[in-house]
Structure 1
Amino acid sequence: MNPIEEWLRLIRHFETVYVPGLLQTADYARRILTEMVELHNLDIADVDAAVASRMQRQHLLYDTSKRFEFLLAEPVLRWLLCPAEVMRGQLDRRQLMCDRSPSVDVRHVPRNKASGRRRRTDLPNCVRRPPLGSGPRVATGR
């Protein structure tokens, strides 16, 4: 456990490739950690123990004195870096966290559909999860 996470009240995380560890399911974490060991020759002797440690960290999400803000690039949700059934479970978990935890805010940065690219001066539109019973909210960032 990272001691800094214990005393922080606001945790922000921006991710372009993977679902952040605090939001990962055990199956997703196992697949990603196994891949990291193989691809990057990481020194993780016991992937199952690393997954268990990652799952234990998630107790922080239920601490009502903390606030979590996650900003995920669209590829995080679209790329199949794991089997489809694992990704479905991961997306279900993300949705449950958004719906049930008022202290967890997950936003997505959509790809620019026209060109697939952004100018450096453009600020991305961020699509926020709507509160229960309301429509989507969009913050333009401008």
Structure 2
Amino acid sequence: MPASQSSSAQSARQALADRLHDIRLDAGLSARALSAAAGWHEAKVSKIEHGKQQPSESDIRGWCATCSASHLVPELIAELRSVDSMWLDWRRAERTGLRHLNVAVRDLYDRTKQYRSYCQSMLPGLLQTPDYTTAVLTSIRDRRRVAVDDIGATVAERIDRQRILTQGGHTFAFVLEEAALHYQVGGPVVLGGQLRHVLEVMRLASVSVGVIPADVDRSPRWPVEDFYIFDNAQANVELVSGFLTITQPREVGMYSETFTALAQLAVYGPAARSLISSALADLPE
């Protein structure tokens, strides 16, 4: 996990390192003594405790065995896997296809009461039609060279997720850059169907769709990376190289503040519908 990807990920990694440090102190061992007893290079323990080297599951087992704390192994390995999941390299995450990543977040969407998303280049998943989703996933599969072709099953999973829009107990706030209404993912026919679908979804009482006009003054807030906020507990960001999960309250708060600022630049209701209708009218026959 790259240490620079997020302060949330870095803080979680350091918290694990601090726990291992405390376990060593409770066992009355110096860093050098633990390394020697475990058969490691003498600097390994120090590197792990200072966050310069992430331990493997095998390292945790050896650490706990040497410190007579084997009962903590399951808990620490679970914590390690949680740290790993904060940053997912696309190559690692998609080696078995695309569907499992979408299944993995099903419960997250189901339990979220307040969902907020900002997108600058395409329509977000909860607003997508099957054809638009198919075009997006096909592009991802080809661009990232995903070996397993499970697009049909992935589309079905993502479309089923949209049931939460009408279940009650959830609210959804979408902020889009006007450019997202014009990028032809899948071609003009697919985009036309997608834009008409957004106009329909906007009628739902649980849904708010704001569009930031292309000619608005961006001095208050520039466009940023696409992000998704789940209540005030978590924010997800899709980057070129991987998928970032942010859970540190201060950092989630930064994304929440950014969403509010971007939402204030957007237009809603008839004005947003006018921009979407204009994008529809601009499509070639």
The TM-score with structure 2 as length reference comes to 0.42
The answer for the alignment partner of 2:141 in structure 1 is 37
Higher helix share: 2
Could you list the per-position Cα deviations for residues 74-129 of structure 1 after superposition, in whole angstroms to 9, with x for gaps in the alignment? 11101112211111100011000002x1001110111126xxx7336676521012
Q: Distance in 2 between matches of 1:107 and 1:126?
A: 5
Amino acid at match of 2:187: P
Distance in structure 2 (CA, Å) of the matches to 1:121 and 1:60? 30
Q: Deviations over 1:14-40 (max 9, x none)?
A: 111111011100000001100111112
Q: Which aligned pairs between 1:45-84 and structure 2 lie closer than 5 A?
A: 45-84=149-188
User: % of aligned pairs identical?
Assistant: 27
Residues 43 and 72 of structure 1: CA distance in aligned 2, closer, same or farther (over 3 Å): farther
Moved over 6 A (4+): none
Q: Does 1:14 align with 2:118?
A: yes
Specify whether residues 90 and 121 from structure 1 end up closer, same or farther in structure 2 by C-alpha distance, changes over 3 A only. closer
2:207 is the counterpart of 1:104: yes
1:28 alignment partner in structure 2: 132
- Aligned Cα root-mean-square deviation (Å): 2.1
RCO (CA 8 Å, sep 6+): is it higher in 1 or 2? 1
Paired letter, 1:126: A
User: Of 158, 182, 192, which aligns to 1:88?
Assistant: 192
The one-letter code matched in structure 2 to 1:119 is: S
Q: State the alpha-carbon separation in 1 of the partners of residues 199 and 124 from structure 2.
A: 14
Alignment check: 8 A CA contact 1:16 1:72 kept: yes
Amino acid at match of 2:200: L
Aligned counterparts of 2:150 and 2:221: Cα–Cα separation in 1: 44
Among 115, 118, 123, the alignment partner of 2:218 is: 118
Aligned partners of 1:44 and 1:50: how far apart in 2?
A: 11
Is the partner of 2:210 in helix, strand or coil?
strand
Q: Is the 8 A contact 1:9 1:65 kept in 2?
A: yes
Query: Quick check: which has more Rg, 1 or 2?
Result: 2
* 2:218 maps to amino acid: R
2:213 corresponds to which letter in structure 1?
P
Contact 1:44–1:50, Cα closer than 8 Å, also in 2: no
| Aligned-partner Cα distance in 2 for 1:74–1:57 | 25
- Unpaired runs of 5+ residues, structure 2, are 1-102, 223-260, 273-285
How far apart are the structure 2 equivalents of 1:30 and 1:106? Answer: 22
**CA, structure 1 residues 10+92, in 2 after alignment: closer, same or farther (shift >3 Å)?**
same
